[in-house]
Structures are given as structure tokens and as C-alpha cells.
């Protein structure tokens, strides 16, 4: 089984590095149990991968060299497809200049950012105009607390993960549609 996983991971990595995102999702499908797509729908995963590769990285991550950004996207792709261990290993082998945050936090925020973009897209498609920020925990930083519970027009909604966040484990703020 572990050899099968290694082979699958190698194929997924190659596909992600070449931005063959549908292929990556398809290769991962038999193995992936992800939090974002519990029904293991490759369609949803390929969409999220597309967002990771198409959008700028969140500003909270600071300035990242272009090649590191590509490796980070591949690591985020592995994370999305449920290969967490492979994601950590890949990034630690590839990236020599440390990010501002720990590698796993950096990957998680990259995926959070993509999920946020996807949610905003759904809001626009369904004519949602306002959203409420939520998702703080008892350990959240003052910046995250300051925006928690606030309702924003979509156009003035801060980019999430929140640029001003100083939470140790990274920003976990998210948004919920406000229907009124």
C-alpha cells in the first residue's frame, strides 16, 4: 500500500509541477480523503487547485521568491489532495529560504486563501452582497478579533487570511454569507 501511495504521490507531484491539475486530481482520487471534499469529488478538488495556481498568494505570507511560490503551490496542491505528509516533505526539500511562518502554516494559509476566493466566487454567482467574518478561537490575535463578527460589503471585505493577523498558527478567519 505504501509503495502504491509513493507511486501515486510521484505522479501527482509531476502533474502539479506541470500544472496538469485535472490529472493531479484524478491520480489522487483513489487515495484522497480531504477535508474540503469529503465525497472525494475530483471536480471540486481540481477547481480548488485551479484557484491555488491562478491567484496571487495571500499578502500575509510576505514576499516569496517566484520559484518558492511555485513549490508552495505544489505543496498546497498535495495538501488539498490529502497527501499531508508528502506535502510537508516536498516543501522542506524544495524551499531553502524559510518563509515568515512555519511551512505547514504557510501551506494551510495558501489553501485557506484559495477556499476564500472560491467562496467569494460562489457569493458573486448567487448574488450574495454581504458577508460576516467569523472563525476566531480563544487564542486568536487582536487583529482577527477586531474583524470577527463584522459584516462587510463584499467589495470592502478584507482579503483572507487577514494581512494584519499575528496568530501563531496563522489566520483562520473565514466568512459566512449574510442574507438580508
Q: Pick the binder of Zn ion from 28, 144, 157, 160 (CB under 5 A).
A: 144
* CB-nearer residue toward Zn ion: 20 or 135: 135
**x/- track of binding to Zn ion for residues 16-55 (CB under 5 A):** ----------------------------------------
Residue 114 in contact with Zn ion, rule: CB under 5 A:
no
Q: Count residues contacting Zn ion (CB under 5 A)?
A: 5
Shortest Å distance, C-beta 170 to Zn ion: 8
The three grid cell numbers given for residue 132, joined into one nine-digit string: 460576516
Residue 109 in contact with Zn ion, rule: CB under 5 A:
no
* CB-nearer residue toward Zn ion: 107 or 160: 160
Across 134-149, b (16+ Cβ under 10 Å) vs e yields eebeeebeebbeebee
| DSSP characters over 40-102 | --HHHHHHHHHHHHHSPPPGGG----HHHHHHHHHHHHHHHTT-HHHHHHHHHHH--SPPSS-
Residue 165 in contact with Zn ion, rule: CB under 5 A:
yes
> Quick one: which of 27, 123, 28, 135 has its CA closest to 80?
28
Residues forming the site for Zn ion (CB under 5 A): 141, 144, 165, 167, 171
Amino acid at each position: 500500500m505504501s509503495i502504491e501511495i509513493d507511486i501515486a504521490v510521484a505522479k501527482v507531484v509531476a502533474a502539479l509541477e506541470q500544472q496538469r491539475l485535472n490529472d493531479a486530481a484524478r491520480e489522487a482520487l483513489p487515495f484522497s480523503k480531504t477535508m474540503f471534499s469529503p465525497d472525494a469529488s475530483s471536480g471540486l478538488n481540481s477547481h480548488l487547485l485551479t484557484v491555488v495556481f491562478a491567484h496571487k498568494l495571500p499578502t500575509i505570507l510576505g514576499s516569496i521568491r517566484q520559484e518558492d511560490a511555485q513549490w508552495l503551490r505544489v505543496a498546497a496542491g498535495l495538501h488539498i489532495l490529502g497527501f499531508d505528509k508528502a506535502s510537508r516533505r516536498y516543501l522542506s526539500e524544495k524551499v531553502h529560504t524559510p518563509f515568515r511562518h512555519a511551512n505547514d502554516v504557510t501551506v494551510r494559509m495558501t489553501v485557506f486563501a484559495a477556499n476564500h476566493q472560491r467562496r467569494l466566487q460562489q457569493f458573486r454567482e448567487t448574488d450574495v452582497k454581504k458577508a460576516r467574518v467569523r472563525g476566531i478561537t480563544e487564542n486568536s490575535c487582536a487583529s482577527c478579533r477586531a474583524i470577527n463578527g463584522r459584516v462587510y460589503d463584499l467589495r470592502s471585505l478584507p482579503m483572507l487570511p487577514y494581512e494584519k493577523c499575528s496568530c501563531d498558527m496563522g489566520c483562520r478567519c473565514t466568512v459566512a454569507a449574510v442574507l438580508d
